[in-house]
Structure 1
């Protein structure tokens, strides 16, 4: 499933005690912060076998810590007014969520220790009275969460799930209809419609090849240096199909080469470009023509309702 290797060691240790249920934590670097993952394991009622049927993924905008630093929530001790309770977090998203749920006097900070910390936000009597200006965007930007379900070890991989909660699109060639027929589709989370009854975003699917998106044709509309080498081109196609944001060398209208990040947007038959620091760039400056030839999507505009299907988040794997 593509989780970090450490998960296998933690899984083995956790199973030895034969608990009925347990979770493991994993993290992936995201565009604007860490992507947190919680894996759920349940023991069979008839044997010592464990099933892994779902994992939750959360992408926020809280920046990761540097080496030797931790996020911490420092709260007043009700029983000892002159003392404080300190809770450390490996996950920036969990630290922020925990802080927002506090009711008394509390502080969200980051640093090597309580003595060497930077105050990010604080509250008194449950009301926030300070937010560090550099932390405001992360504080007020809601995290995106989604639960991904597995069946017989099949479903979205860890990296695909991380890409989906960051509003990217992934390609799956192993999808199945309710009748058991296989099909291929580009899939993204639909942030434009109401969540389902389980608090998950619904999926929007663009069936392949009926939707008409052509990866190679789309790539060739841009001046990307790596596309001239077959092996590198194949690597780019594979990574973008996984939903990855890929580092490439693009040539602008001024003829200068620039290191940028690119991701595919099958919905519109285009690529999105970003600077190495994550700032959005105008794609037109890297096209071979004035505008990207998007007839592949336009020709399908009359039949999108038939080729785009929304799946319930608990039904798609």
Structure 2
């Protein structure tokens, strides 16, 4: 039987009741809880931890159109100030974490640096990556272009160029730029590269923009050094334990010189030749046509 027959058989009161049930809005408390958990997850994933959760919950329950959260994090000899921006949707009872302002305040005479970083679906530059970018280092990220196609690139803030909002220009060094971090590290005598797990941790740390401590071999002795990726110049920067710049050539792997290489080749070639002390073995005479 066609569905229309069954539809006409229903009473008006049944249809009215069903229509009322379908149009009933979702429980706002349930929706807020889901939204609140999503926001908390985003803060944790972006590196802001859980210290803001209580204030976040209070602000969401207040149902204001928008609100901000403040956070200050110490980093060695400097401080990072974060202002996180949340906005309520015009179409639904939900809040979104859209962006945050980050300011690096060094304890020394260095000038403060600030930048606004945008968040899309709980994804973007993390709090620690913002610290590294404002500190002048580079971060390797997976991005999406205008055609919604993913690509990877190294990001670096240009300290000399700002837009009308006071944000630094973001420079990008794509994969076709020619910087390969793993291949670059192979040139240097770094102990951590000898172990696959330590090597992987080192690569991931440098890609996040960290200044990473390594054990380097210099003048035949092990020394503590700190390194950072420098994609613009397709190399790494090296510092000593006091954070003073060190010539990267000092920790390059020692390559054998040309004279040593020639001697090694002659030695290997000599080992392949028959010894003069050994009598030459007579080869059996084969039957056949002489040429």
TM-score norm. by structure 2 comes to 0.67
SS of residue paired to 2:106:
coil
- The root-mean-square deviation of aligned C-alpha atoms, in Å, is 1.9
- How far does residue 154 in structure 1 lie from its aligned partner after superposition? 2.3
The aligned counterpart of 2:226 is 261
Query: Which structure has the bigger radius of gyration?
Result: 2
Contact 1:221 1:289 in 2 (8 A): no
Match of 2:70 among 4, 9, 25: 25
- Equivalent-residue separation in structure 2 for 1:170 and 1:281 (angstroms): 22
SS of residue paired to 1:267:
helix
- Is it true that 1:284 corresponds to 2:249 in the alignment? yes
Moved over 6 A (4+): none
Go from structure 1 to structure 2 and tell me whether the alpha carbon gap of 1:227 and 1:29 turns closer, same or farther (over 3 Å shift): farther
The aligned counterpart of 1:49 is 94
- How far does residue 211 in structure 1 lie from its aligned partner after superposition? 0.9
- How far does residue 17 in structure 1 lie from its aligned partner after superposition? 2.4
- How far does residue 190 in structure 1 lie from its aligned partner after superposition? 1.5
Go from structure 1 to structure 2 and tell me whether the alpha carbon gap of 1:47 and 1:196 turns closer, same or farther (over 3 Å shift): same
Go from structure 1 to structure 2 and tell me whether the alpha carbon gap of 1:245 and 1:29 turns closer, same or farther (over 3 Å shift): farther
Mind listing any 5+ residue stretches in structure 1 that lack a counterpart?
Answer: 63-136, 291-317
Contact 1:186 1:206 in 2 (8 A): yes
Go from structure 1 to structure 2 and tell me whether the alpha carbon gap of 1:152 and 1:201 turns closer, same or farther (over 3 Å shift): same
The aligned counterpart of 1:184 is 152
The aligned counterpart of 1:195 is 162
Q: When you count strand as a share of all residues, which structure comes out higher?
A: 1
Mind listing any 5+ residue stretches in structure 2 that lack a counterpart?
Answer: 1-45, 256-291
- Is it true that 1:60 corresponds to 2:29 in the alignment? no
Contact 1:54 1:150 in 2 (8 A): yes
The aligned counterpart of 1:227 is 193
- How far does residue 31 in structure 1 lie from its aligned partner after superposition? 5.5
The aligned counterpart of 1:109 is none
TM-score norm. by structure 1 comes to 0.62
The aligned counterpart of 2:58 is 13
Task: Write the mapping of 1:271-310 to structure 2, written as runs, cut at 5 A.
Answer: 271-289=236-254
SS of residue paired to 2:237:
strand
What number of residue pairs does the alignment pair up? 210
SS of residue paired to 2:123:
coil
